[in-house]
Structures are given as C-alpha cells and as structure tokens.
Structure 1
Amino acid sequence: MDAQSLVFQLLTPEGRADPYPLYALAHELGPVSPAGDGLILVCGYEACRQALREPGMGADVNLVTWGADPAQHPSLAMLSRSLLVANAPDHGRLRASMAQMFTARGVAALEEDVVRITDALLDDLQRADGAVDFMDAFAFRLPAHVICDTMGIPEADRARFRGYAADLMATLEPASDPACHEAGLAAADRAAVEVDRYFTDLIRARRADPGDDLVTSMLSARDEGLLRDDDELVANLASLLLAGFETTTHLLGNGLRLLFEHPDVMSGLRDGTVPVDGFVEEVLRHDSPVQLSNRVALADGVSIAGLPVPAGTHVLLLLGAANRDPARYADPDRFDPTRDDSRPLSFGGGAHYCLGALLARLEATVAFGRLPTRFPGLGPAPGAAPTRRDRIVLRGHASLPVVLDARETAGI
C-alpha cells in the first residue's frame, strides 16, 4: 500500500475506528512519504517532532477548511480567525492574549479548583443508580467546569457547549464522503452561530460589569489592541473553550477504557505501584485523543527527514503513529505506564504546542489518582457496549457506560 492509498484508508469507517494497523503499515513505508497532490505523510517520531518544531513550517488553515470557502461557512470563518491555524506575526499576539492562565504558575494555581470539582463530580457519581455514562457524567463535566469557572460562564449554561463542541470541532475532520462533509458543515455552522451569539452577549455583559475571569482579561487585550476586533475575540474565546475540553474529555475516556482492558494497571493505580503521571503519559502515547495534525511549508528550503518540502506543500502529521514508532519505542503497541522514556507528541510541539497541555495533564492526573480508590469495583456496564465517535483527528468515545461496582452486577 502506498502513502496515498493509506490516507484514503484512514478516512474509511474501519480506518477511523482502529487506525493503528494502518499506522504500522505507514512505518513500513518510512518516516516520511509523498502522498500525491502536494501532500506529504509523516509518521516517524523524529520526523514528526522535526516538522512540529521547524520554523519554516506553519499551521495549515486546511486543517479546518479542507478546501471549503470560509466566507460561505460561519464555522470555518470562526475557526480560521483562531489561534488554532494562526502563524507569525498573528500567532504570537493571539497566544499572548490568553497565555497567562496556562503558564506553569497559572495551572498550579488551578489545582485546588480541579481537586474540588473532581471530588464533587465523584460525589455525584456515588449517587448514581445502576449504569451511568462516564463520558456524560464525568469526562465532559470535569474539563468543562474547570474552563468555564475560569471564564466566568454560569453553570446553567455549560451543558449546551458539549453539543456545540461536537458539531464545531467536526470541521477538523477530513471526510471522504462529500455528502457527509456537507451535513457536518451545516451542523457546525449552526453551532458557530449559537456560540457567536453567546460570546457576543457575554462580552457585552463583561464590558458593563468586569469580573476576575479570562473573558474580562481577553476583553482587556482586545481594548489594548492585542486582539484586532470583537470577531477575533469571539473566535478565540470559542476555540479556547471548545477545543480545550474536547481534548481532555477524550483523554479521560480513553484512559478509563484502557484501565478496563488492563485491570492490573487499575490495581497498580489503587495501591500506588503504578505512578499516575506515568499512566497519563502512556494513555497520551498509546491512544492519543489527538491523532492527526497539519502543517504547511511556508517557504522553500525546508526538508523533513531529508525529504525536500517545497513551499505550499501540505504535511499530514500522524501523531498517533509517531507515538507508536518502533524506531522510538520498544514494543510500541504494548500499553505500559511504567515506561521511563515516554514523550508523546499528542499535544504537538514548537510554537504551536498546545496551550492547555499542562491543564489537561493536571485534570487527568487528579481524576485517575482518585477514581480507582473511590470506586474499587468500577467496571464496564454489562450489556452496554461503549461507542467510539466516528472521527480520526479527535479520537474518543461518544459513550462509555460504567457501573460503580461491577462485582455486585456480577453477583459476587
């Protein structure tokens, strides 16, 4: 199978459901492969790391447009104004408008709040009767409450953003079926209109009554000229909220699914023989919530792993494949939270390294440090299979039914 065929296979339902066999084939082709039509496929760990850090490579707006016209779609227009696809000089000023919260000091200051919210959600789980969807009851709510508290978004408004995020972030997904792509864009456009309306109203409220929150801080950046206009402010508030909890939600879901598949690791977290931070890193490596990213060559003279990348060439980075590169990791398909050399590329690298990476790691570490001990019998709900979302860029579960004491369900 050549690189172009492999890309097409990744876009099939089977490829999206389990891309890892295709990643293994990609490694057989080499770390970097031309994939036709001005596209290069990168799957090697060191090659991906180089591309992420290469100054001559930039964020690719194709990650959100996939050939569609942003002027015709509110969702693409919104995301195209965001930090997600910005390059210098815009990237620096957009990042500066929101970076203070995500420094090591800023994230450390949030730890007490993350612990409080986690414990409250576990208390809610404790009151559940029978099977409960972990994705809805915990995995979505933890990052959503953390970021919404920071932004000053009222609790009554938060549930709506899960649907908005699912629809809007679907624009990041390449599609082989034009009809499905159009349907997805229509849903994303409706979500973008609602999100735009919500943040426009919230900005108006903060202008009248400033608060001690991120929205007020970014509004000040707008008034100081760091953000160009209210459209850019809204776009970056929206992407910060929606992209922020989407990634962490699926990190939590993928992590729990792996615990069910590896009960010895669950026991190790409970008794302290498996370090929780090592577990989180291995989840990020083994089943990353972010599988793909895009870059574009900004000028001639760039090469990746020795392959020339002419200006304008699109580069598809298989981060999920890089995290299982046999040239980087021994027995890469084995889940092993005791690895001492795990450096997953799940949050990217270089100038575009994920702004919320430290916060996502903190939330996951707190959550998985508590779940196994709070619910020693936690297990999958009998007769209720988990469902994965039909996506390849952002990999995660749509539902993950669990019971808090699988031993009772089994009649033990």
Structure 2
Amino acid sequence: MSQQPVTLPFTDPAFVADPFPLYRELRQEGPVRRAVIQGELEAWLVTRYEDGLAALTDPRLSSDVRDAADPRLMERLPTTERESMIRTMLRADPPDHTRLRRLVSKAFTARRVAELEPRVQAIADELLDAIAAAGRADLVEDFAVPLPVTVISELLGVPVSDRFDFQRWTDDMVLQGPQPPDPAKIEAAWQQMHGYLTALLDAKRAHPGDDLLSALIATHDDEQRLDRHELISMAFLLLVAGYITTVNLIGNGIAALLTHPEQLRMLREDPELLPGAIEEFLRWDGPVNPGIARFAREDLTIAGVAIPRGATVLVASAIADRDPARFADPDRLDVTRADNAHLAFGHGIHYCLGAPLARLEGRIAIGTALRRLPGLALAVPEEELRWRPRVLRGPSRLPVTFGSAQG
C-alpha cells in the first residue's frame, strides 16, 4: 500500500456526483489510506467496515479537536466564543460526553419523538399542498429543506420568524463548496448564531415553554450541570444536526429512487418496505461523506497500519458501508435488503442521538411524496443533478415533475 496521500478531488464535479468508484479503489488498496481531504489537511481513511466499527469504539481515538496535531483544524473554528463551539456533545469525550448526553437524553426522549409523528405528517402534507398545482418543483428547496427545519424549530422552540436566519447561518458554517471554507464567513455566521442563541436561551429562561431548549435550561438551572458554554453548544448542535443531515437523507433517498425505477416501483407497490428502505438509503448514499473524524490520542495501529499521535483518522462510513466483506452486492441499491447495520449514524457512545427523529422524518417525507405525487420523475437528466461537495452529501437541487397531487 502506497503511503503517498491520495487527494480526494472535491473540485472535480464528476467525483462530487459519484465518489464511489474512487472509494472502491481506495478500499481495495488497503484498510487504511492517507488522504488529503481539504486544502492541505490530511487524514487517515479507515475504509473497511469491521475496522471502522472497531475504531468508533476505540478510546485511543478522541472526538476532541484539541487532540489534533495539525493546528489548522483549530484555526478553522471561529475565534469568537470558541469555547462554546468546541464543547458540543459531538466533540466531547468521556466523562464530559457521558454527562452531556445523559442530560440531553432526559429531554430528547423516545416519547417526545414519537409524539411528533402527526405533526411531521401535517408539515409534509402542507408543503406538498403548496406545490401540488404546479406539477413541478425543486424537492430540495420546496420540501427536503423546510420539513426538517420546521420540525426542529418547533421541537426546540425557535420562533417562526427566526428560522430563515438560523438556517442561513448554519449553511454558511457547515455547507461547503469545492474550495476550502472561508474563515471570515464562518466567523461572521458564528458570531450571529452565538448572539442569537444567547438571547434565545435568556428569553426561554425568563419565559419557559414546552420545548426542548426550555427543558435543557431547566436541567441546567436545577442541577447546575450545564454551564453557559455547554448550553449554547448544545442548542447549536441540536439546531444544526437536527436539520441539515435530514435534508440530505430525504434528498438522497428520493434521488436514489428516481434513478432506480425498479426500486421506486417496489416501494409504491409495498409501502411496508419503507422503514427498511430508509436504512438502505443511509447505507448506499448516506448524508455524511466521506465519514466521521477522530484524533489519535497516542501512537496506535489500525489494521496493521501505524497511526501517529495527533493524526486525524477519518472513519470513512461512505466507503465502509459498501464493503463487500460486510454487505452482499454492496454497490446495488436494494430497498428489500434486510441485513443493514450501516455506519451512517456512527457507532458506540457517539451514536447519533437524533437517529430516531431522522428516521421518522425520512420515512414520512419520502413516503408522503411517493403517495401524493403520481408520475414523480426527474425534470433533468440524471447527469445534470448537482451535489453538495465535502462533508455533507446530498443534491443541492432536485428538480422534478409529477401529475396532479393526490390527497
């Protein structure tokens, strides 16, 4: 296996549209591969499923960016109130992660998620009602984005009038183009987001409601276990993670069906397949690409490859979830696939807390679109679809046509 790093060509539209041929080559070359993932930033890609599964539970691999040897990773974070940015549950390790996850789990319960189903269905229907007469739409802008934005806003208690702002700030910080991110743009967006969240949390402390942020504040004030930075970071994480990956789950799932008509036909004929189909969309073309970052606390070995202390290790779930050693015929989309323990939501202590909500929204959104939009088809050739590069994968637009929408 060559130790010369391979560059992931995010400036190449062909790679962005379909990175999986290169990913397959990298996995065949070896279980761990050095790669340039962004600008001059390097990472060690873990390309195979079993190795990725083990890495995600390895305590020698940290989630805290402060354990990274490359100072540029920290420099790319906003400087304003950086403490709030780096103390999200996503970046924390035990014991802080254990405490933070336990506290948010008290508010983000399975019951609260289950109770959202009628409201998620109503939002999906309202959005499709708005486009029904036109016979055409952009299912990203008109459906896949506003549905999870509305759901997470209502769950957290974000006022309707503020939703466009928080979505814009999030996009400036997280959605990246083919070039390295602009630190000034990220800094400005974080300053606005930080100021907004500070004011919102103050308002909810003074006038609590029946929402998740009010519940988190109550936990903080009663038990003194969430400090100011932790509350802001938790609010930020829930807002961002609560919408942006779900947008891509919905967009990727619908795009996959429209480019695989036999799979679309099976789902239309048997809607009971939909829960399993959601898992297949997550495995086959998940919203995180190429994977999940960790940082080596010490010198270690993964699959016989020496990894130096401080190195960035990228558990490449997008590559590992097509590992033929784990999944039969892995490059084939199969909505009837039963054995589907993918890594799209991670694994171990950092397994995505919002996975049940994402699954609920994906199932309702895709199922409702298939039920209510007869003759649903791409309005452009498949090769003209445009995809978001880097980190979060999904179509940037999804132009479609359809017949008269059904109730």
Q: TM range, normalised to the smaller chain? A: 0.7 to 0.9
> Aligned partners of 1:383, 1:263: CA distance in 2, in Å?
14
Alignment of structure 1 residues 13-412 onto 2, 5 Å: 13-14=12-13, 15-33=15-33, 39-61=43-65, 66-69=72-75, 73-74=79-80, 78-127=84-133, 129-170=134-175, 180-181=180-181, 183=182, 185-223=183-221, 224-229=223-228, 231-272=229-270, 275-291=273-289, 292-299=291-298, 302-382=300-380, 385-389=384-388, 391-405=389-403
Uncovered stretches (5+) of structure 1, i.e. residues with no partner: 408-412
Query: How far is the alpha carbon of 1:134 from its aligned partner?
Result: 0.9
Aligned CA distance change for structure 1 residues 151 and 274 (closer, same or farther; 3 Å): closer
**Structure 1 residue 70: deviation in Å?**
6.4
1:11 Cα deviation (Å)? 4.0
Confirm or deny: 8 A CA contact 2:104 2:216 kept in the other structure: yes
Matched to 1:123, the amino acid is: D
Q: Tell me, in whole angstroms, the C-alpha distance in 2 between the residues paired with 1:360 and 1:72.
A: 28
What is the Cα deviation at residue 286 of structure 1?
Answer: 0.8
Once the two structures are TM-superposed, the CA of residue 40 in structure 1 deviates from its matched residue by: 2.7
2-structure distance, mates of 1:139, 1:3: 40
Relative distance call for 1:3 and 1:130 in structure 2 (3 A) is farther
1:367–1:67 distance in 2 versus 1, CA, 3 Å: closer
How far the C-alpha of 1:329 sits from its partner, in A, is: 1.5
Q: Distance in 1 between matches of 2:18 and 2:146?
A: 26
Q: Is the 8 A contact 1:3 1:41 kept in 2?
A: no
Question: Alpha carbons of 1:247 and 1:137: their partners in 2 closer, same or farther (altered >3 Å)?
Answer: same
Counterpart AA for 1:239: L
SS at match of 1:296: strand
Q: Distance in 1 between matches of 2:76 and 2:295?
A: 18
Alpha-carbon RMSD across the aligned residues, in angstroms, is 2.8
Deviation, structure 1 residue 161:
2.6
Assess if the C-alpha contact under 8 Å between 1:170 and 1:188 holds in 2. Answer: no
1:34: how far off? 5.3
Q: 3-state DSSP class of the match of 1:399?
A: coil
| Number of equivalent positions | 395
List alignment gaps of at least 5 residues for structure 2. none
Taking a change above 3 Å as real, the CA distance of residues 400 and 72 of structure 1, as seen in their structure-2 partners, is closer
Contact 2:271–2:367, Cα closer than 8 Å, also in 1: no
Q: CA deviation at 1:155?
A: 1.7
> In structure 1, how many angstroms separate the alpha carbons of the residues matched to 2:25 and 2:94?
35
Cα distance between partner residues in 1 of 2:48 and 2:185: 35
Q: Shift in Å at residue 366 of structure 1? A: 1.4
Q: 1:153 to 1:329 in 2, by over 3 A?
A: same
Paired with 1:255 and 1:71, the residues of 2 have a C-alpha distance of: 31
2: CA distance, partners of 1:272 / 1:238: 38
Q: CA, structure 1 residues 132+10, in 2 after alignment: closer, same or farther (shift >3 Å)?
A: same
1:100–1:106 Cα contact (<8 Å) kept: no
Q: Quickly say closer, same or farther: Cα 1:392–1:3, change in 2 above 3 A.
A: farther
Give the corresponding residue for 1:410.
none
TM-score (norm: length of structure 2): 0.88
Q: CA deviation at 1:371?
A: 1.4
Secondary structure at the counterpart of residue 398 of structure 1: coil
User: Are the equivalent residues in 2 in contact too, given 1:260–1:379 (CA < 8 A)?
Assistant: yes
Distance (whole Å) between structure 2 residues aligned to residue 383 and residue 70 of structure 1: 37
For 1:153, give the aligned amino acid. Answer: V
Change (3 A) 1:118 1:338: same
> In the TM superposition, what is the alpha-carbon distance from 1:39 to its structure 2 partner?
4.5
* Equivalent residues of 1:60, 1:294 under 8 A apart: no
Residue 404 of structure 1, CA deviation = 2.6
- State the secondary structure of the residue aligned to 1:397: coil
The residue type equivalent to 2:197 in the other structure is F
Secondary structure of 1:74's aligned partner: coil
- TM (norm. structure 1) is 0.87
Q: Which amino acid aligns with 1:29?
A: E
Q: Deviations over 1:370-401 (max 9, x none)?
A: 21121111122248943212x22110122111
Following superposition, the deviation at residue 9 of structure 1 comes to 2.7
268-277 or 28-37: which moved more?
Answer: 28-37
Q: 1:320 to 1:242 in 2, by over 3 A?
A: same
Distance in structure 2 (CA, Å) of the matches to 1:304 and 1:145: 42
* Residues 259/9 of structure 1: CA separation in 2 closer, same or farther (3 Å cut): same
SS of residue paired to 1:270 = helix
Q: Which amino acid aligns with 1:59?
A: S
Q: What are the superposed Cα offsets for residues 265-312 of structure 1, whole Å, 9 maximum, x if unpaired? A: 222222216700121111101111012111123345x54334454543
Give me the whole-angstrom Cα distance separating, in 1, the residues matched to 2:271 and 2:204: 48
Deviation (angstroms), 1:213: 0.8
Query: Aligned with 1:41: secondary structure?
Result: strand
